[in-house]
Amino acid sequence: MLCLCGTLLRMSTAQGARARARTEVTAAIKDEARRQLAAEGAAKLSLRAVARELGMVSSALYRYFPSRDELLTALIIDAYDSLGEAAEAAYAKVRGESPARQWVVVCEAVREWGLARPHEYALIYGSPVPGYTAPSTTVPAAARVGLLLIGIVRDAHQDKGVAQWKLPAELRPEARRMAEDLAPDLPPAVVVVLIGVWAQLFGLVNFEVFGQFNRVVEDRETFFRHAAGQLAHHVGLVYPRSGATER
Amino acid sequence: MLCLCGTLLRMSTAQGARARARTEVTAAIKDEARRQLAAEGAAKLSLRAVARELGMVSSALYRYFPSRDELLTALIIDAYDSLGEAAEAAYAKVRGESPARQWVVVCEAVREWGLARPHEYALIYGSPVPGYTAPSTTVPAAARVGLLLIGIVRDAHQDKGVAQWKLPAELRPEARRMAEDLAPDLPPAVVVVLIGVWAQLFGLVNFEVFGQFNRVVEDRETFFRHAAGQLAHHVGLVYPRSGATER
DNA sequence: GCACAACAGAGAGCACTGCTCTTGCTTTGG
DNA sequence: CCAAAGCAAGAGCAGTGCTCTCTGTTGTGC
């Protein structure tokens, strides 16, 4: 036990030359893979090409990633983390401001991240590429943006309460379940709307990143800000200036 | 001119044995490709495997589709059409009923179509697979569901008017533009919300089809019906029983 | 300090892919 | 009836993921 702890500690802090080289090569592989991903898309990402570009033979690459799909999942996790970081950074900049503004700013950060890296975005919010389901190792990284959005609503709720909708009876048990799992301190009705709005946000970003808005929406930034504001309104966050949109 | 017309007419009505064989083989190829698509996903769809299964040699297949990507775009168009047909069929069944109900029923049809054929759904609403942008030949087929939704709102509007939101000033020019292109007979504010809701609908379906709701939403059908109802509410369609959801 | 094990890279090779080109054969239209 | 066009087949090229074997190298326990 203690011995194992010691080993782990030593490996993570003062790693030997070999271990360091390993992490460096691993990082180099992921970097080059990310470059190819950005250039050509996930479909054309090739292990051999990555190896070639790195000046090593393709079989050597399998010492670091047991398969192409494993490389891809590593990139997926990194992408989730990068997106989460971008969202959290945007959130940090508006910490003191109104919940609605925080919400819109985080949404815009997600959108901008996706527009800047369409292929990485496609990796995580497009169709799942490798097999069928993304391995469960991606779950924690994937949850970051969602948790951030929940946090914003939670703060607003603890502050002065959020407007909430009345749920139809058939949805109430499910709503209770979801609230218990995700945010026990929030009213079930809010959690239900939140989950829906979460998906809808990525619907908006998807359509823009994947070009479905081409020749439909022109001034997409303004449009998105408006839509994100409506989503905020929908989860009960109200703009201080009494609503940018109203009946 | 006349001669050409005659030729075209003859080709489309009483096509020769060769032409018939060609359309038959083309259909068989697409069928087999669709089968493999459903079984393994777009990434593993292989021209050679399709040819093998059909008992022909791979090079022969290039007489019918000039490349793998062309085959895929053919499948994409078919998928759009199939989805559009499903949506229109669902719409036809509730023609006389309230706009809100029509809306929800069409949304549910989209969801069910996607859940039944996740890979075909991924082809059209997931990340664009072939190169970068889907060729413009897919546009008309792609618009069917959107036009159907617009139609529902238009009918409701002509009937008794729909509730509409006040737009912020910065969005008004863009709103006018969008309304002019898509539905000149609808108020710009409605069109803006409609486009947003259109994207949000597919955000909901995306998350469900691609498994983002796994371990988050359990009773997904009820949840979706509720969310679709809220979207209807959002575009100004109101339930006859004074709203399934209210403040 | 040294032997042994774990590791890293190289190369060959397998089965597969998309795609091209050439070669015969069949159908079709003038 | 015959040239032209359409079709299938086969060989072949360049590329892919992945495995296996074979060398060196590096780190570790005795």
Instruction: Tell me the per-residue pLDDT of A153-206, one tens digit each, with 9 for 90 and over.
Output: 999 987 776 666 789 999 999 999 999 999 999 999 999 999 999 999 999 999
Q: Is B216 on the interface with A (CB under 8 A)?
A: yes
d(CA A213, CA B212): 23
Does the pLDDT value for residue B175 go beyond 60? Answer: yes
Closest of A140, A138, A114, A137 to residue A125, by C-alpha: A114
Exposure class string for A79-96: b at 16+ Cβ within 10 A, else e = bbebbbebbbebbeebee
Q: Which residues of chain A, if any, have pLDDT below 50?
A: 1-14, 131-132, 241-247
Closest of B95, B33, B40 to residue B64, by C-alpha: B33
Q: Which residues lie near nucleic chain D, judged by CB under 7 A?
A: A 16-18, 45-49, 52, 58-59, 62, 66-69; B 18, 21-22, 25, 55-60, 63-64
Tokens of B176: 């006018």
Which one of B46, B200, B201, B234 makes the best mutation probe of the A interface by having the most chain A beta carbons within 10 Å?
A: B200
Only one residue has tokens 């496609």, namely A122
Task: Give the pLDDT of residue A2.
Answer: 32
Rg for chain B, CA atoms, rounded = 22
Collapsing DSSP to helix, strand or coil, B200 comes out as helix
Check if residue B168 sits with its Cβ under 7 angstroms from strand C.
no
**Average pLDDT over every residue of B159-186:** 88
Residue in chain B closest to A236 (alpha carbons) equals B247
CB-nearest partner of A171 from B132, B223, B246: B223
Check if residue B47 sits with its Cβ under 7 angstroms from strand C.
yes
Closest of B213, B201, B112, B114 to residue B149, by C-alpha: B201
Count the Cβ atoms, other than its own, within 10 Å of residue B162: 22
CATH architecture of B73-234: Orthogonal Bundle (1.10)
CB A167 within 8 A of CB A192: yes
- A233 to chain B, closest Cα gap in Å: 11
Q: How far, CA to CA in Å, does B137 sit from each of A38, B81, B82, B134?
A: 26, 12, 16, 8
Residue in chain B closest to A222 (alpha carbons) equals B171
Task: Report angle CA A162, A166, A168 to the nearest 5 degrees.
Answer: 150
Beta strands in B23-142 (DSSP E): none
Q: How many residues does chain A have?
A: 247
- A83 to chain B, closest Cα gap in Å: 16
CB A165 within 8 A of CB B245: yes
Residue B98: pLDDT band with limits 50, 70, 90: very high
pLDDT digits (tens, 9 = 90+) for B222-247: 999 999 999 999 998 976 543 333 33
Q: How many residues does chain B have?
A: 247
Q: Mapped to the 3 state alphabet, what secondary structure does B208-219 carry?
A: HHCCCCCCCCCC
Residues carrying CATH 1.10.10, chain A = 16-66
Only one residue has tokens 């529902």, namely B152
d(CA A116, CA A228): 19
Tokens of B50: 């399709």
Amino acid at A102: Q
CB B196 within 8 A of CB A223: yes
Beta strands in B4-144 (DSSP E): none
d(CA A75, CA A82): 10
pLDDT digits (tens, 9 = 90+) for B65-90: 999 999 999 999 999 999 999 999 99
Tokens of B70: 């062309």
d(CA A189, CA B51): 53
Does the pLDDT value for residue B108 go beyond 60? Answer: yes
Alpha helix locations (H) across B143-187? 144-160, 172-182
Task: Give the pLDDT of residue B161.
Answer: 64
d(CA A237, CA A157): 9
Q: How far, CA to CA in Å, does B47 sit from each of A45, A129, B22, B33, B38?
A: 20, 19, 17, 8, 15
Residue in chain B closest to A138 (alpha carbons) equals B212
Check if residue B69 sits with its Cβ under 7 angstroms from strand C.
yes
Tokens of B124: 């059209």
Check if residue A60 sits with its Cβ under 7 angstroms from strand C.
yes
Task: Give the pLDDT of residue B16.
Answer: 73
Collapsing DSSP to helix, strand or coil, A144 comes out as helix
B128: left (phi over 0), alpha (psi -120 to 50) or beta: beta
Nearest 5°: phi and psi at B121? Answer: -60, -45
Closest C1' nucleotide to A62's CA: D18
CB A94 within 8 A of CB B89: no
Task: Report angle CA B91, B97, B100 to the nearest 5 degrees.
Answer: 80
Q: How far, CA to CA in Å, does A45 sit from each of A10, A33, A55, A130, B128?
A: 35, 7, 17, 12, 15
- B191 to chain A, closest Cα gap in Å: 11
CB-nearest partner of A196 from B127, B131, B227: B227
Show which positions of strand D are touched by protein (CB under 7 A): 6-12, 15-21, 26-28
Q: Which residues, numbered 130 to 189 in chain B, qualify as contacts with chain A under a Cβ-Cβ cut-off of 8 Å?
A: 131-134, 142, 163-168, 170-171, 173-174, 177-178, 181-182
CB-nearest partner of B171 from A203, A207, A223: A223
Closest C1' nucleotide to A18's CA: D26
d(CA A134, CA A138): 7
Residue B9: pLDDT band with limits 50, 70, 90: very low
Task: Give the pLDDT of residue B12.
Answer: 39
CB-nearest partner of B204 from A199, A244, A247: A199
Rg for chain A, CA atoms, rounded = 22
Does the pLDDT value for residue B7 go beyond 60? Answer: no
Check if residue B32 sits with its Cβ under 7 angstroms from strand C.
no
DSSP assignments along A57-80, one per residue:
-HHHHTTT-SSHHHHHHHHHHHHH
Task: Give the pLDDT of residue A238.
Answer: 75
CA B18 → C1' D5, Å? 12
Q: Which residues, numbered 55 to 84 in chain B, qualify as contacts with chain A under a Cβ-Cβ cut-off of 8 Å?
A: none
Which residues on B lie below 8 Å from A233 (Cβ)? none
CATH fold for the domain made of A16-66: Arc Repressor Mutant, subunit A (1.10.10)
